[in-house]
């Protein structure tokens, strides 16, 4: 196995696994540290999905090191730390502290940090992160409930999180290609920096960075910066990659969308699905909290729906509604009530013949996948940038599309099904 990856959330892990798989690595995703009995001998890359983005930094370090150890044990030669393309973090971490710990673990003194993902509108220019052309601190991420991003200068953002010195490699070096990028890394190292923020505006930039960085013991970033790694491994001949498994069959069965994300992309996708006539049930957190509506209510509703097309169960709501609910129930409590209900519904789905699931939202996906006891996934075709179909490797046989809140085109919930055989 060539690359061992540690992702700080579930849908982010799937995003990275898709990138590696699309570029030619046979990739398996595990939910949490892989079970020692799981056969990973065929994999070129393993992506371990953690839920460590917003937990205390020390816990994130411990979980990430446990994942790194497990990955080296199953043969990983290089490590990749995946975080969000909007650099979701606070001054306490966890990007800085985890990077520091993984650098020390690999015995290395240099790595890069690059969240750029141009296909999803995330670019880095002169060290500043832009989201669809808007500086990060002016984008909707400025109001994120857990990780409000109020500074788009990533050198400053990361420097506040780490005692390592943070440098910058700007697009002039990146444009000049892999040799210039390697020289820039040497220059930054000589200047005493151990982590460099790296500019990238295009996929060509990311591919050049991949070629320059492929030998680093640790790379950190969004899924974009992994784009060039498979080609670099092939070019170096260092690893004979496994032949690609082209087939992706989904188990036969009913189709359902569970949406617990309230991000703007999901809100639009829910609207469109309802407009186009997908039978839909809205879960109101206040009704769930009072017991007026339970998972049983939703299961009874499901039983009455036609079996020949997808159905939607959602708690998706506008920012004002979410704020109102959070004020009344508490932010964490509101989230947990919704997640617990969607998880209970998910647990009953295989029995009811549902084998094809789209789940919207990282936290929601975590809760649903746990309820279904899915602990590893193979990666299928891309539905939209950052979101593949996947298939469970053990337990109930399911096709799953785990969608980050802000990913996917407006018709995502309609078109995804047509890709399943």
Ligand X SMILES: Nc1ncnc2c1ncn2[C@@H]1O[C@H](COP(=O)(O)OP(=O)(O)OP(=O)(O)O)[C@@H](O)[C@H]1O
Ligand Y SMILES: O=C(O)[C@@H](O)C(=O)CO
Q: Where are the beta strands (DSSP E) in 136-284?
A: 166-169, 195-198, 218-221, 254-259, 280-282
Binding to ligand Y by residue 84, rule CB under 6 A? yes
State how far the Cα of 154 lies from the Cα of 116, in Å rounded to an integer: 11
Position 161 contacts ligand Y (CB under 6 A)? no
Nearer to ligand Y by Cβ, of 86 and 355: the residue is: 86
> For ligand X, which is the closer residue by CB, 48 or 229?
48
Task: Work out which of 32, 118, 222, 230 binds ligand Y, going by CB under 6 A.
Answer: 222
Complex with ligand Y: residue 380 or 386, whichever CB lies closer: 386
Site of tokens 């990007």: 95
Q: Which does 386 bind (CB under 5 to 8 A by kind): ligand X, ligand Y, none?
A: ligand Y
For residue 238, the 8-state DSSP code is S
116 and 123 Cβ atoms separated by less than 8 Å: yes
**Helix (H, G, I), strand (E, B), or coil: what is residue 131?**
strand
DSSP letter at 141? G
Q: Does 221 bind ligand Y (CB under 6 A)?
A: no
User: Which residues of the shown chain bind ligand X in the complex (CB under 6 A)?
Assistant: 11, 260-263, 266, 285, 315, 317, 322, 325-326, 334-335, 338-339, 361-364, 404-406
Distance CA 64, CA 48 (A): 9
The footprint of ligand Y on residues 229-288 (CB under 6 A) is none
Cα dihedral sign, 232-218-21-40 = positive
- Tally Cβ neighbours within 10 Å of residue 264: 13
Instruction: Select from 5, 9, 97, 329 the one that contacts ligand Y (CB under 6 A).
Output: 9
Measured CA angle at 81 (ends 105, 333), to 5 deg: 110
Nearest distance from residue 140's CB to ligand Y, in Å?
13
- The greatest distance separating any two alpha carbons of the chain, rounded to the nearest whole angstrom, comes to 67
Min dist CB 258 to ligand X, Å, is 10
Task: Find the shortest distance in angstroms from Cβ 393 to ligand Y.
Answer: 21
* Position among 118, 260, 386, 408 found at the interface with ligand Y (CB under 6 A): 386
Nearer to ligand X, 159 or 404 (CB): 404
Kindly state the tokens that stand for 147.
Answer: 């990780």
Q: What residue 34 binds from ligand X, ligand Y, none (CB within 5 to 8 A, per partner kind)? A: none
CB of 256 to ligand X, least distance (A): 16
- Asked if 377 and 392 count as a contact pair (C-beta separation under 8 A), the reply is yes
The footprint of ligand Y (CB under 6 A) covers 9, 11-12, 15, 84-86, 222-223, 362, 386, 404
């Amino acid at each position: 196995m060539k690359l061992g990856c540690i992702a700080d959330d579930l849908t982010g892990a799937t995003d990275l696994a898709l990138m590696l798989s699309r570029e030619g690595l046979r990739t398996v995703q595990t939910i949490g540290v892989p079970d020692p009995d799981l056969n990973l001998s065929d994999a070129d890359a393993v992506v371990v999905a953690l839920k460590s983005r917003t937990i205390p930094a020390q816990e994130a370090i411990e979980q990430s090191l446990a994942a790194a150890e497990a990955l080296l044990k199953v043969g990983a030669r290089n490590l990749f730390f995946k975080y969000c393309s909007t650099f979701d973090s606070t001054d306490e971490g966890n990007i800085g502290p985890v990077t520091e710990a993984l650098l020390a673990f690999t015995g290395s003194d240099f790595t890069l940090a690059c969240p750029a993902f141009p296909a999803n509108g995330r670019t880095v220019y002169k060290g500043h992160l832009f989201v669809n052309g808007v500086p990060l601190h002016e984008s909707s991420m400025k109001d994120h409930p857990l990780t409000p991003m109020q500074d788009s200068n990533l050198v400053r953002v990361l420097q506040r999180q780490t005692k390592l010195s943070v440098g910058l490699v700007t697009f002039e070096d990146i444009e000049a290609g892999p040799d210039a990028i390697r020289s820039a890394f040497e220059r930054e190292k000589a200047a005493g920096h151990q982590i460099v923020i790296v500019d990238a505006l295009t996929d060509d930039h990311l591919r050049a960075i991949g070629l320059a960085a492929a030998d680093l013991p640790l790379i950190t970033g969004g899924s974009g910066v992994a784009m060039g790694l498979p080609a670099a491994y092939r070019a170096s001949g260092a690893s004979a990659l496994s032949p690609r498994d082209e087939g992706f069959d989904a188990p036969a069965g009913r189709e359902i969308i569970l949406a617990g994300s309230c991000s703007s992309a999901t809100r639009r996708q829910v609207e469109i699905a309802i407009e186009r006539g997908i039978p839909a049930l809205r879960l109101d957190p206040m009704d769930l909290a009072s017991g007026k509506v339970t998972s049983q209510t939703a299961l009874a509703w499901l039983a009455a729906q036609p079996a020949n097309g997808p159905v939607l169960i959602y708690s998706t709501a506008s920012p004002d509604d979410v704020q109102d609910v959070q004020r009344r129930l508490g932010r964490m409590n509101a989230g947990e009530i919704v997640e617990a209900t969607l998880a209970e519904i998910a647990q009953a789905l295989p029995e009811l013949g549902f084998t094809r699931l789209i789940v919207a939202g990282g936290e929601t996906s975590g809760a649903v996948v746990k309820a279904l006891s899915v602990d590893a996934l193979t990666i299928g075709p891309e539905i939209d940038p950052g979101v593949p179909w996947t298939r469970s490797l053990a337990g109930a046989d399911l096709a799953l599309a785990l969608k980050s809140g802000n990913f996917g085109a407006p018709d995502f919930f309609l078109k995804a099904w047509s890709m399943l055989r």
